[in-house]
Structure 1
Amino acid sequence: MLESIPGRVFVVGVCLLITTISYSSQIMVFAPALGEKSFIVLTPLNLLVLMVYYNYYLAITTDPGKVPTDWEPPSSLVPSKENRTLGITGPRFCKSCDLYKPPRSHHCRYCKRCVLKMDHHCPWINNCVGHGNYNHFLRFVFYVDFACFYVVALLVWRIRSIMDDIRHFRFEAEPTMTEVTFMVINFVLACVVLFCVGILSMYHLYCLARNQSTIEAWERGKVESLIRRGKIAAVNFPFDVGIYQNICAVLGNNPFLWLWPQEMPTDGLLFPVRAHTDPRIPFYWPPRDPDDLRPSIFSAQYRQAKVRRYEAEADAVDSEDYYDSGSCITDSDAEYSLSDEEQSMQRLMRDHIHDLSGTQYHEESYRRQRRQWEQEFDRDDEDDEEDEEDSVPLANIITRKSPGKEDKAD
């Protein structure tokens, strides 16, 4: 639906709404009622409106963050062929952009590219909210709250003054119909905007304290659900480094300048993580459901497969069936060594132990089956002995079982 509406329509609508609430209330309501005090009372409001416009402009025009085309994760994180056989795909990869995704980045279907630390695509600014403009977006919504609250406070003051004049029969100060109309319109608009943007501001303030984006908040909920159901081991959100540091990471290190427009100090490719965090986790976050086709390093399936692989390698070396060719390699074959041949044989043994999906045929089950076969063979031998008795001639059996003549004489 948003794709069918030009983004500039939303931007024009927001600008008209800001202008209507801020200036129609000043011209039609506040200035006539305040008289000489207008400059003192309305100057703070105009400064707030100026900050609203400026931060709104920055949120619209600032690039939220583009993934460099030459960015790649550390080479140690790129999966080997053996891990690909197990289904381990390595760091997150965007098929649409054909690029690796840096930590916390996501693909925006409206912008048609990956955005660094993407929070959400906001139609009201006709832009994605990401690493580059998230601080401008926060300041914009905060200043909208301050300005709307100031307008509502002045409107409440004006309504109370009118009611007080009526109560004391001072009808010479009676407001005009135009003033009443603009009072009602601005009061309704300011309250609606304050309510909606206020809820949005509180939610983003909560996310700011936890150093998470809107997408990451949804992901954390899913991860917590997987942990509760026992599908993955307990794992902490790696980017939550404390409330103060979380705020500084977005609004800057100087608390006195948190509400002043400024650029992000980092590039949005790497982020500080909490202590004792596995360095691989930021590149793999969030953990996937182990039931997915491509298990992650967090899944029990991956850990069990890894253990099975190590056990299989040890069994392949210690196995009685391990074959050493003992061949001699001449100096003319320098590119090939005995260790290479042994490694090839070990890989061959692993191929017999593992199938294509990485599932091990357990050696213990093989031994149990072999013992069962041996027991069956032993029973067959006993049956053979019984069969030998069955093959004795009938006359011999009668002679063996019937009493002899001497016994009869006795």
Structure 2
Amino acid sequence: MPVKLKWPFLGIAIPCFLISFIGYNAHYFILTNFLSQKEQIWFQVSLTMIWLSYYLAIYAPPGHPPRNFQPSPKTWKNYCKKCQNYKPERAHHCKTCNSCVLAMDHHCPWTMNCVGYHNFPHFMRFLFWVIVTTGYLLVRLILRAYFILSNYTTPLYLWKKSEVIFLAVLIPMDGFILLTISILFIRCLSNQIFCGRTQIETWEYERLEGLFYRKRLISLLIQNFWDLHPECRTHEVENEATRLLTQRGLKFDNIVNFPYDIDPLRNATQFLGVPYSWLWPLGRPAGTGLFFPKNDISDFEESELQDMLLSLPWPPDGGRDKVACINGSSRIETVVKNGEQLIRKRAIDSGDTISRKKWQNTWGENLEDFGVDIDAE
């Protein structure tokens, strides 16, 4: 669950305090007692990389759409009322920044900045260097504490009291930071690199799964497909749509394709830039953040309706709360009468589904928790 701070400046003050307190106290009171000069220099270089990447994560802009942006044909035309401009694919309006952000991942309270297309590499490098530095430090602190405890018979006056005190304080603090940042880093890797999705898009994916298993999604997809491709609405395709609505054993992945997931390497290159720049402090993606390459499944070709639904732009339901109407009805359901399967139609009650603005994922997060201005959606 994202953290919400009463005083936003604490989002910068707390990390700065933790980096300084843990890093410099550990070096001065503990590491200088047993590390070689070369090892101490390495630790300070690693600590400096934390500061540099954190500074860039705070001040580097995430990227914003140009004025008078025009979306591509056969895509959703999402107009931002507050920016008075069309939003590119994957962009959202941040409530805190009061602007649309390219490939918005989330608004981070710890950088007081949005994490978007252009500064995502800085954010990931910050997490990486925190993990490397705190991991290295934790190992050194634990080994030092073990050494002192294994020599408990040695007179206490041979050990510095300050070293023992800071070992007791810094080991749990350093371990806590390492654990929490590692969880966030793994979550980002899982989403962006292995699935090609931002955190908002992962949230959207889970929402669509929920609609699918409540049997509310297929009719929306069919209606959206006909809105984008009215030329494909023939009598044969309408019959195929009716069969698809009543088909059993249909899987979510058979009708929903996330178009930006290509493969882990290309996903990583799309978000982080070329591999040799991943650890370079100024490395960034080569694209514009306005348009993105898509996988082969998203290519539109006239074939079976089920395959054509996979070509819908993301999100395939349009990302709006609406009721689908198939053949003039709001929902198609089936009943069995005298051994025959009949199709009947009725309107969907507005209370049947949870509003997109209120829906929560398994982490208990809604769109506002990622910083999205739901009034601009």
Q: Same fold (TM over 0.5)?
A: yes
Structure 1 residues 110, 99: CA separation in 2 closer, same or farther (over 3 Å shift)?
same
CA contact (8 A) 2:120 2:272 kept: no
Of residues 181, 188, 197 in structure 2, which corresponds to 1:212?
197
Q: 1:289 to 1:239 in 2, by over 3 A?
A: closer
- Give yes or no for the alignment of 1:132 onto 2:130: no
What TM-score do you get using the length of structure 1 for normalisation?
Answer: 0.63
1:61 maps to 59
CA distance in 2: counterparts of 1:20 and 1:211, whole angstroms: 36
* TM-superposed deviation, 1:195: 1.2
Compute the displacement of 1:110 (Å).
Answer: 0.5
Q: In the alignment, which of 98, 120, 143 is matched to residue 129 of structure 2?
A: 143
Distance 1:120 1:171, change over 3 A: same
Long gaps (5+) in structure 1: 79-89, 306-410
| Offset, 1:202 | 0.9
Structure 2 matches for 1:159-198, cutoff 5 A?
Answer: 159-166=145-152, 169-171=153-155, 174-198=158-182
The yes-or-no answer on 1:286 pairing with 2:312 is no
- What secondary structure does 1:43 align onto? helix
Identity in percent: 31
**Structure number, greater radius of gyration:** 1
Q: What is the rounded CA distance, in whole Å, between the counterparts of 1:177 and 1:159 in structure 2?
A: 13
Equivalent position to 2:295, from 256, 274, 277:
274
The answer on whether the counterparts of 2:12 and 2:112 sit within 8 Å (CA) in structure 1 is yes
Coordinate RMSD, CA, aligned = 2.7
Q: Give distance in 2, aligned partners of 1:211 and 1:165.
A: 51
Give the conservation status (yes or no) of the 8 Å contact 1:232–1:290.
no
- Which runs of no fewer than 5 residues in structure 2 stay unpaired? 219-254, 301-308, 329-377
**2:7 corresponds to:** 5
Return structure 1 stretches of 4+ with deviation > 6 angstroms: 279-283
SS in 2 for 1:107: strand
**In structure 2, what is the Cα distance between the partners aligned to 1:153 and 1:116?**
39
1:228 CA displacement: 2.9
SS of alignment partner, residue 52 of structure 2 = helix
CA distance in 1, matches of 2:65, 2:111: 21
For the 8 Å contact 1:165–1:173, the answer to whether it is kept is no
Equivalent residues, number: 281
**Equivalent in the alignment of 2:263:** 242
- Separation of aligned partners in 1, 2:82 and 2:131: 38
TM-score (norm 2): 0.68
**Partner Cα separation in structure 2 for residue 127 and residue 70 of structure 1:** 24
Quickly say closer, same or farther: Cα 1:117–1:283, change in 2 above 3 A: farther
Equivalent residue, structure 1, for 2:71? 73
**2: CA distance, partners of 1:226 / 1:278:** 24
Structure with a larger share of its residues in strand: 2
- Post-superposition shift, 1:276? 3.4
1:114 pairs, out of 90, 95, 100, with 100
Cα shift at 1:266: 0.9
Q: Deviations over 1:344-365 (max 9, x none)?
A: xxxxxxxxxxxxxxxxxxxxxx
SS at 1:210 equivalent? coil
